[in-house]
Chains A and B, each alone.
Chain A
Amino acid sequence: MTKQIHLAAHFPGVNNTTVWADPRSRSQIEFSSFEHLARTAERGLFDFFFLAEGLRLREHKGRIHDLDVVGRPESLTVLNALAAVTERLGLAATVNATFNEPYELARRLATLDHLSGGRAAWNVVTSSDAFTGENFRRGGFLDRADRYTRAAEFVATARELWDSWTPDGLSRPFAHRGRHFDIAGEFTVPRSPQGHPVVIQAGDSDEGREFAAATADVIFTRQSSLEAGKAFYADVKRRLAKYGRAHGDLKILPGVSVVLGDTAADAREKAAEIRRRQTSPQTALLTLEQIWGADLSSYDPDGPLPDFDPVPDSGITQGRTRRGDTVAIAEKWRALAQEKGLSIRQTVIEAGGRQSFVGTPQAIAAELDAFVQADAADGFILVPHLTPGGLDEFVDRVVPLLQERGVFRTEYEGSTLRSHLGLAEPAWKG
């Protein structure tokens, strides 16, 4: 049988992927936007709806970053409300394992699983920076190396709590004593419909892959070429056996963006226009400042790149992922600008990420299918650039074609997220 594709919808996030300046763009905060996108995803029979998390607003040059979408509601609260306006769609929240405690978070996740009838998922992320820690009792207190050991023990502890009630509704005391957590007592929530909410892991690092292979049900990865995708897929799936897990126990879903057009040329034109909108003149300069580690506000975004080398480890931007070897990036970008005669803004657009799939609905459906059948993925997490209508067209035009190809469901077969993903209910460990 041909492999079935899994699809998820990512609510547009707080980075410059989201084009807030588009006249069709609506609130990033009001419930109606979440309801629109979730209902679209459910109409498209998606596996789940995905929310990211932020715990400290990003800062640049010591001030709050103001060029991208800023602010968002708290994920689990939004998902509980969405459970009221959807029936089958999985509901995934990103929640940090560093700035939460297992007892409380396991309880909130089990609650969502009860209230949604078995549709809860948790995307486990780790972070340890002192910048984010300034909002919390504990502060930034973890060594980078400890992030995954804490996350692994956190998930294991949560599962002990979820297993502490017997399947027939008896509560039994638990006790967990480990390096990061020493807790005991009784859990307040009976075993939830899925047994354990689905666990997602996001990140491509070696540690992240190992953590996912040992622990996660889904891995949310970066999209790459077909060849790199196949290599990643094979590597992660190979690690499963070590933990006594089967090939199908972990689904690999890259985050992708899709641009549709009536013709291939139309789609390419739209894609270029979106990239231009994602990179305003101000965003272009800011991106450059992040790499150069210096104030470039006197530069003209339509003029040439700076001719001096970046300042390493400037700490100019707080609360966002590091960019790696900035000197090398700067060299590459200067070469690119020189070769094609590009301005600062044109260089940032040219060198920046491109949409993953650009084309007609027929071409996109064929490509997505090929990607999955070639074992470069088990499906995709779609990241739209518009709130909240960014997936309307995909659901209306691409999903029917995937169904015609026989690689995507035509109705929900089960009621839980585990059933959509083809994951077994976890055995109760009494």
Chain B
Amino acid sequence: MLHLSAAVDQPSVYDAASYVDLARLAEHGVLDFVTLDDTFARPGLDALSVLSRVAPATNRVGLVPTVTTTHTEPFHVQAAVATLDWVSRGRAGWRLDVSTTEGEARLFGRRHAAPAEELWREAGEVADVAARLWDSWEDDAEIRDVPTGRFIDRDKLHHVDFEGSGFSVKGPSIVPRPPQGHPVRVVDATEGLARRTAARYADVALVRVANAAQAGAVRDQLRKEAARFGRNPDGLRVLASLLADLGDGEHAAEPGHGGGGPRQTAQGPLYRGGPVDLAELIASWHGSGAVDGFHLTPAAPRRDLERLVNGTVPLLQHRGLFRTFYPGSTLRDHLGLARPANQYAGEAS
């Protein structure tokens, strides 16, 4: 099964309607999910808030905001992600990222910038404690038992007693277990430091590489590492992440691009060409088993998302490679990922 997703980032756009429009367009294209990036280092709205605003205006598309883990409170972050899953009825994801600069550290004034290695280790701990807190309520904890006067069965709520290297959390969460059990965790695994965290905790890994062979090599490595962490590697989706500039018409304007494949740029691997050739590239990379799908960042947000949805997607559907409707309702359904079992089920509280 091929998985497709797109970024809905729009620089200097602060109104809800623009984001709703793009998310609806992606939903029209039956994409698995949309991402919205976030950083304290550049102007932009809080991404999780934007996608919460988008949730009631869409029905099926997955919603994946970036939420950073360096200067935020793990307890608040997991509660907000769980709540996004509640308000979207099971469509929430969370792209983890770290804040590496001293400039970001000064906005908080609580710690100095730290090496990326340390920050990614901490991001892993945040991913870990988030899943524990999502599991800190069993699914059937709310019982509303009138004869005994009990709203919950407290044996089904659990303190998580998490001790990380730099923080600790007692639990349980304030939010009951979200519809998907665990909202989908996404990590950009291009850099080696993040790759380990991705292999251990991510449901979806993004890889910014310019050719299928490289993508396949990273995918193999991620799956091997995931297995070493005791995971079933089939529970990890690896998506090639490309910038897509579909502004040059039906075919590649420059020889060597488009049908020839993306090239590396300062912003990451860039595909430039037409929607038809992009469909060809997607089919070819996916067909060779190098990736489970794609994450595309439109160079011109509206234009290129439209061309993707109205040009590339129908071609892939015609070839029987991509879904024509959403058979499921949650983001995990779209990704073919099972709802995880609760790690505390059956334990005494």
Binding site for B on A (CB under 8 A): 20-21, 29-31, 35, 54-57, 63-64, 66-74, 76-78, 80-81, 83-85, 99-101, 103-104, 107-108, 111-112, 114-117, 134-137, 171, 181-186, 188-190, 280-283
Contact = CB atoms under 8 A, between A and B. Distances in A.
Contact of A84 (B14, B56, B148): B56
Given A31-B86, A81-B53, A281-B149, A111 B172 contact: no
B48 interface: yes
Interface in B27-54: 40-46, 48-50, 52-54
Contacts of B16: 83-84, 114-117
A136 B14 contact: no
Given A74-B79, A81-B55, A282 B148 contact: yes
Interface stretch (B69-77, B236-244, B246-254): B69-77
A66 B82 contact: no
B8 interface: no
Contacts of A115: 15-16, 45, 49-50, 53
B157 interface: yes
B106 A137 contact: no
B112 interface: no
Contacts of A183: 106-109
A238 B158 CA distance: 49
A117 B15 CA distance: 8
A136 B169 CA distance: 6
A81 B57 CA distance: 9
A112 B49 contact: yes
A282 B42 contact: no
Contact of B73 (A35, A116, A136, A281): A136
18 contacts: A20-B144, A29-B86, A29-B175, A64-B152, A66-B154, A70-B142, A72-B174, A73-B79, A73-B86, A80-B53, A84-B53, A84-B55, A99-B73, A101-B71, A111-B46, A114-B14, A282-B149, A282-B150
Q: Which 8 A-B pairs have the closest CB atoms?
A: A282-B149, A134-B170, A80-B52, A77-B83, A81-B87, A280-B149, A84-B56, A73-B83
Interface residues of B, number: 65
Contacts of B268: none
A111 B52 CA distance: 11
A113 B80 CA distance: 18
A189 B43 contact: yes
Given A31-B87, A73-B87, A57 B157 contact: yes
Nearest to A183: B109
A54 B174 contact: yes
B43 A30 contact: no
Most buried by B among A30, A111, A171, A189: A111
A218 B144 CA distance: 35
B162 to A, nearest CB: 10
Contact of A64 (B71, B74, B144, B157): B157
Contact of B83 (A57, A78, A136): A78
B146 interface: yes
B84 interface: yes
A31 B86 CA distance: 7
Contacts, number: 180
Interface string B128-164: 0000000001000010101011111110010000000
Contacts of B149: 21, 67, 280-283
Given A30-B86, A56-B170, A103-B40, A66 B72 contact: no
A65 B171 CA distance: 14
Contacts of B349: 63-64
B231 interface: no
A74 B85 CA distance: 11
Most buried by B among A63, A76, A182, A282: A76
Nearest to A180: B109
B269 interface: no
A31 B55 CA distance: 11
B167 A77 contact: no
Contacts of A70: 142, 151-152, 157
B9 to A, nearest CB: 13
Nearest to B19: A115
A50 B91 CA distance: 25
Most buried by A among B43, B71, B153: B43
B263 interface: no
Contacts of A71: 137, 142, 152, 173-176
B14 A189 contact: yes
B103 interface: yes
Contacts of A20: 144, 151
B110 interface: yes
Contacts of A57: 157, 172, 174
B236 to A, nearest CB: 27
A402 to B, nearest CB: 30
